[in-house]
Structure 1
């Protein structure tokens, strides 16, 4: 799509979204399903930053209207692929002679994302691999698209999100997208994670193939798996094994290595035929400084103690809530909503009562956003943890979060 038409399409989608927000703000009704369908169709075709933003938003299951969240979540698994001829060009530019390297490349991708799509291939040696191919011309359109995405994000003011926070979210998105263009960095992350977590027998990370990789092509050994979103009706034992492995891995990532997989949408995770958790995408990995992690754990400790004043002090220490007037009643409600997940014994992430309380709490949190002012440098971390939480919800996880968090609280808040 030419630049002018692309910009016009993005602005049109933004205007439609803004109109729905205005109607609801004025007490009217918005057709969230119709809006979601329009966003899915438009963003699925456009790809790039706007589609990535919608994927991020769809992970906030407790924020968006359910019909809108359901439609946007399709971008994680059903996005319209780019035509094969468009993808073949960067492959030919990298490999020169495709027939000399591959016996076969499947024209139909088995995964389409915001920045690239994945094709299965068989090498001349008979090995099945996957090729993650960056959409052609993406580097050129990225910065222009980001200008339009910044305009779209201004709609967040209708949700009482302070402009400074919207700007911070935009910068987070821009840095993340620019980083995802670096396929060499993702190949290095795959190799690093494979070595680091080799002791986790129920975790699988595909092996990168450096001889086949390039700036716009990432080659990995093929690992078959059932996507996480398709596990909701799987046997309970499998779901609990995947959930436990996911929780173990995330805990080690954060508290041992100070890193976090920052793209938690469900399409990046699967279960293989041995019931192991497969992680397909490491294009977004963030550093989590120990001081920031300790400060967030102090906030969790105050929350579990049902101490609104200590929660406010912890938020202030994090760099949030710059104004006057601590929302103590909101702190109490937040603590009451979160506490059930941390009582002794297995916590049921499938308990709809917990989700209902979180959904009821979300509008109040957003309404108080100008007072809370969450710290800018925790936005990506909190958004990521929220995405991983909802993956555990989809699995119907039963985890003893009390036993898991007590040693961590003792270690990080000492």
Structure 2
């Protein structure tokens, strides 16, 4: 699609989204199902940054209207692939004659996403590999697409989110999208994660193949596995093992290594025949600063204590509060809904009562957005934590989160005590 047509279509989708948001703001009903279907059709074809933004939004399951969230979630598993004729030139530019490098390449991708798609192949030496291929011309349209995304984010002003905060959120998102186009950085992240978790027997990270990698093609050893989303409703013992691995791995990432794989949709995780968690797609890895972790622990501590005033202070420390009139009653209800997941002993993340209560709070969160400002600088971290919460929900996880979080809170007390002594 030519750039002018692409821009026109993105603007049309943005205006339709803005109209639905304005109707809601004015107290009218919006047809979220129809909007979601239109966004799926349009963004699935256009791909790129706007589709990525929709995928990001879809992972806030508890904040979006249910019908809109269900339609946007299809972008993570049903997005239309680019035809082979559009992908092949990128591979030829990287390798020359494909028959000189590969014995076979599957022309139909087994995974497609917003910025690229993945094809299985076999080298002439017989090694099974996967090739993550960036969509052609994506770097050229990225900046123009971001202009349209920025306009869409500006709709947040209708919810009294200041322009400066929206600009900061946009800059964080833009940097992440630009970074995802750097396949050499992703290859380095794969190698780093393989070294980091080599001693763990429950985590698998695919091996990057530097000799086959290039600016727009990332080659990895093929790791056969079952996608995480396909485990839903399957063997309970396996699901609990995987859920424990996922929770422990995320905790280790954050609090031991200070960075996190920030693209938590279920298609990026799988389980191999040995029951190990397979981690794919390290295109979005973000550093997490100690101050951010400390503020998150403060918020967790206040939530578990069901202390609305302390929750407000923690949100202010994260940069997520401004103005007068803290919504203390909303804090109290949110804490009452979330705190049971962190009670001593195993707690059931599949308990629909918990996330039903959280979802029921969503309209009130939107209504209080002028006071509950989205914290700048932790958009991707918030998305990651929220996305993995829903991964655990879909796995029907039963986890003792109390035993995982109490040592972190104790360590924070000790650090604070040391600082004041």
Query: Could you tell me the TM-score, scaled by structure 2's length?
Result: 0.95
Residue 169 of structure 2 contacts residue 377 of structure 2 at CA under 8 Å; is this kept in 1? no
Residue 294 of structure 1 contacts residue 413 of structure 1 at CA under 8 Å; is this kept in 2? no
Other structure's SS at 2:370 match: helix
Paired position in structure 2 for 1:321: 321
State yes or no: 1:225 paired with 2:234.
no
Distance 1:34 1:199 in 2: 48
Paired position in structure 1 for 2:352: 352
Paired position in structure 1 for 2:206: 206
Paired position in structure 2 for 1:59: 59
Other structure's SS at 1:117 match: strand
Moved more, 235-244 or 362-371: 362-371
Distance 2:138 2:294 in 1: 38
Aligned-residue RMSD, C-alpha: 1.4
**Structure 1 residues 243 and 112 mapped into 2: Cα distance closer, same or farther (>3 Å)?**
same
State yes or no: 1:166 paired with 2:166.
yes
Paired position in structure 2 for 1:332: 332
Other structure's SS at 1:256 match: helix
Q: Deviations over 1:146-168 (max 9, x none)?
A: 00111122233344544333322
Q: Deviations over 1:252-271 (max 9, x none)?
A: 10110001111111110111
Aligned ranges 1:182-201 → 2 under 5 Å: 182-201=182-201
Residue 119 of structure 2 contacts residue 131 of structure 2 at CA under 8 Å; is this kept in 1? yes
Q: Deviations over 1:250-294 (max 9, x none)?
A: 011011000111111111011112221111110011111112201
Residue 154 of structure 1 contacts residue 163 of structure 1 at CA under 8 Å; is this kept in 2? yes
Q: CA deviation at 1:230?
A: 1.4
Q: Structure 1: which 5+ residue stretches go unaligned?
A: none
Residue 160 of structure 1 contacts residue 366 of structure 1 at CA under 8 Å; is this kept in 2? no
Distance 1:198 1:393 in 2: 28
Distance 1:391 1:111 in 2: 19
Other structure's SS at 1:207 match: coil
Paired position in structure 2 for 1:139: 139
Distance 2:188 2:320 in 1: 35
Other structure's SS at 2:371 match: helix
Paired position in structure 2 for 1:282: 282
Q: Structure 2: which 5+ residue stretches go unaligned?
A: 415-421
Q: CA deviation at 1:19?
A: 2.2
Distance 2:154 2:63 in 1: 17
Aligned ranges 1:83-102 → 2 under 5 Å: 83-102=83-102
Distance 2:29 2:295 in 1: 40
Query: Could you tell me the TM-score, scaled by structure 1's length?
Result: 0.97
Distance 2:61 2:262 in 1: 17
Residue 350 of structure 1 contacts residue 393 of structure 1 at CA under 8 Å; is this kept in 2? yes
Other structure's SS at 2:61 match: coil
Paired position in structure 1 for 2:308: 308
Q: CA deviation at 1:315?
A: 2.5
**Structure 1 residues 340 and 353 mapped into 2: Cα distance closer, same or farther (>3 Å)?**
same
Distance 1:57 1:270 in 2: 22
- In the alignment of these two chains, the number of paired residues is 414
Residue 64 of structure 2 contacts residue 362 of structure 2 at CA under 8 Å; is this kept in 1? no
Q: CA deviation at 1:409?
A: 0.8
Other structure's SS at 1:312 match: helix
Paired position in structure 1 for 2:417: none
Runs of 4+ in 1 over 6 A off after TM superposition: none
Aligned ranges 1:1-400 → 2 under 5 Å: 1-400=1-400
